[in-house]
Amino acid sequence: MNNTDESLKFHFKALKLREFLKDSAGLSSSYNNIGNCFQKKQNYSQALKFHFAALKLKKNRTLLRNS
């Protein structure tokens, strides 16, 4: 297992914990980190999936804060 695979393993564990805690800021960060790992592995479709999930959460948090 290389470092990127190991990173993905731990980022997915963090994601599960943040989902359990309903930590939207942490979820956004986890999605972004997972996207970065997939980008490093040149799996761009998966990277985009997780980056867009992070962006969606970030936008929702910004909208809630500004309303």
- The CATH number of whichever domain residue 27 belongs to comes to 1.25.40
Look up the domain containing 12 and give its range: 3-66
pLDDT digit string, tens, across residues 10-46: 999 999 999 999 998 999 999 999 999 999 999 999 9
Residue 14 is predicted with a pLDDT of 97
Enter the DSSP assignment of 23. Answer: -
CB 31 within 8 A of CB 55: no
Tokens 């930590």 belong to residue = 23
Q: In angstroms, rounded to a whole number, what is the distance separating the alpha carbons of residues 44 and 50?
A: 10
Q: How many domains does the chain fold into?
A: 1
Residue 8 is predicted with a pLDDT of 97
The model carries a pTM of 0.89
Residue 46 is predicted with a pLDDT of 98
